[in-house]
């Protein structure tokens, strides 16, 4: 049976392919987006590698190619009345929430960008939770959180919860969080607010603590250049593997920050869509907050950079690694053992990182190499002021 799927942030890197995938299988889909990412790109003078049309152009291309409509709802989640009206009008079965400022470096530029990130993300999600409570309590919220909420603790990371024994008694708490940027902190605040909304109001939610996403296409975005997703490689919105592939094509050093032992969970863009689909198709029970760790493999950044470098060298590109001074404050060697079995148990079949996949990405990037803006590869956004070392 077709479901009513509302994709918040459906104009972005992950939201757009998600909206297309649900529409392709016959669900009724609406994209709610304030188009803010386009404003931030202009502010910072960065641009996606593949040309991206306006939202209307993308939606009419999809209509033309698939024969299916996706409804645009343009507005801001921090506008409470707009959020209430949108839920009242669309009546979603599932709300997939990507509608936040997604970049750690953006949130660390200065006080204004940190405050914007936290206000935008936390208030938008709060408005959504209240609107769900009042006008759409049966909807299932599928919220994109992040593995970075946990940080890199020196013990195993569970999926969302930890049972603590203390003075002869035990209780299950949300897993303690030690995030590494003002952006990641905004997601921690969201998680607590969502937990509150499920406990106190009986809402149903799934928080997907996602790792770092890489990849340039999905089955639907590959159908036509007008359906491309917003693939970033700049220091602000580009994620590690995507950046490394563009650096290899551009012939500039692949920037491993510091020693390169920083280990993170990674997943293919196709698996983001698959995980969100699995979570949506098996809704949480009323009153429950499920938390899944959403990644398929872990790598150090040095391993990732070496994989890209080797693939590029095989293709005859003069790729090289550079241990770049780390602009972030983060552990460069650490223990990392996060559990990630819940989505596999629901049926996820991962697309693991292979040389073939890196080759495909490099080929796609080569076709657009004239659009690479070298200045945006290294923008030197620091987590802490440079120390005076004289
Ligand atoms: N890194 C490098 N060189 C680079 C860029 C990054 O060594 O040129 C390192 C970073 O220092 C970090 C790791 O690679 O240790 C990952 O950085 P990233 O920029 O790929 O990812 P991050 O800033 O953590 O954020 C991204 C998304 C964010 C999402 C998060 C998932 O932008 O929306 O929440 O990945 S996670 O990292 O699991 O928290």
Average pLDDT of each block of 10 consecutive residues along the chain (390 residues)?
96 98 98 98 98 98 98 98 98 98 98 98 99 98 98 98 98 98 98 98 98 98 98 98 98 98 98 98 98 98 98 96 98 98 98 97 98 97 77
> pLDDT at position 387, please?
65
Ligand 1 centroid–CA 148 distance in Å is 9
262 lines ligand 1 (CB under 6 A): yes
SS3 370: helix
pTM attached to this predicted model: 0.98
> Would you call 218 a catalytic residue per the annotation?
no
Domains of the chain: 4-376 (3.40.50.720)
> pLDDT at position 388, please?
53
State the Cα–Cα distance between residues 24 and 22, nearest whole angstrom. 5
Ligand 1 centroid–CA 323 distance in Å is 16
Of 187, 214, 255, 277, catalytic? 187
State the Cα–Cα distance between residues 344 and 333, nearest whole angstrom. 28
118 lines ligand 1 (CB under 6 A): no
264 lines ligand 1 (CB under 6 A): yes
State the Cα–Cα distance between residues 254 and 346, nearest whole angstrom. 36
- Ligand 1: residue of 117, 179, 212, 265 to mutate (most ligand atoms within 8 A of CB) is 212
State the Cα–Cα distance between residues 235 and 229, nearest whole angstrom. 18
> pLDDT at position 390, please?
45
Ligand 1 centroid–CA 171 distance in Å is 32
148 lines ligand 1 (CB under 6 A): yes
State the Cα–Cα distance between residues 193 and 145, nearest whole angstrom. 12
Identify the residue whose tokens are 């400022």: 101
Q: How far is CA 340 from the centre of its chain?
A: 17
> Would you call 183 a catalytic residue per the annotation?
yes
4 lines ligand 1 (CB under 6 A): no
Element counts in the chain: helices (H) and strands (E): 12, 14
Ligand 1 centroid–CA 286 distance in Å is 33
Q: 7: phi > 0 → left, psi -120 to 50 → alpha, else beta; which?
A: beta
């Amino acid at each position: 049976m077709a479901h009513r799927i509302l994709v918040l942030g459906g104009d972005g890197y992950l939201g757009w392919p998600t909206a297309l995938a649900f529409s392709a299988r016959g669900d009724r889909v609406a994209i709610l987006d304030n188009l803010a990412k386009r404003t931030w790109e202009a502010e910072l003078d960065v641009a996606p590698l593949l040309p991206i049309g306006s939202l209307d152009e993308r939606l009419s291309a999809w209509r033309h190619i698939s024969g299916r409509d996706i409804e645009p709802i343009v507005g801001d989640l921090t506008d409470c009345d707009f959020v209430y009206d949108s839920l009242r009008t669309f009546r979603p079965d599932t709300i997939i929430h990507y509608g936040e400022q997604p970049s750690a470096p953006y949130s660390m530029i200065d006080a204004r960008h940190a405050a914007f990130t936290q206000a935008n993300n936390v208030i938008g999600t709060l408005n959504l939770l209240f609107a769900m409570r009042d006008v759409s309590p049966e909807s299932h919220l599928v919220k994109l959180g992040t593995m970075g909420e946990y940080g890199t603790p020196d013990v195993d990371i569970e999926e969302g919860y930890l049972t603590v024994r203390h003075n002869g008694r035990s209780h299950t708490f949300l897993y303690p969080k030690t995030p590494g940027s003002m952006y990641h902190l905004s997601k921690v605040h969201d998680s607590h607010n969502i937990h509150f909304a499920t406990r106190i109001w009986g809402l149903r939610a799934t928080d997907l603590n996602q790792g770092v996403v890489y990849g340039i296409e999905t089955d639907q975005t590959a159908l036509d250049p007008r359906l491309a997703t917003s693939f970033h490689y700049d220091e602000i919105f580009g994620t590690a593997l995507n950046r490394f592939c563009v650096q290899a094509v551009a012939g500039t050093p692949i920037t491993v920050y510091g020693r390169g032992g920083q280990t993170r969970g990674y997943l293919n863009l196709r698996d983001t869509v698959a995980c969100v689909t699995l979570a949506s198709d098996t809704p949480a029970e009323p009153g429950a907050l499920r938390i899944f760790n959403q990644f398929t493999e872990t790598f150090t950044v040095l391993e990732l950079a070496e994989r890209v470098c080797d693939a590029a060298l095989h293709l005859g590109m003069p790729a090289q690694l550079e241990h770049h001074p780390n602009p972030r404050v983060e552990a460069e060697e650490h223990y990392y053992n996060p559990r990630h079995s819940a989505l596999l148990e629901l049926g996820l079949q991962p697309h693991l990182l292979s040389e073939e996949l890196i080759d495909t990405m490099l080929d796609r990037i080569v076709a657009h190499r004239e659009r690479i803006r070298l200045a945006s590869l290294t923008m030197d956004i620091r987590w802490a002021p440079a120390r005076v070392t004289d």
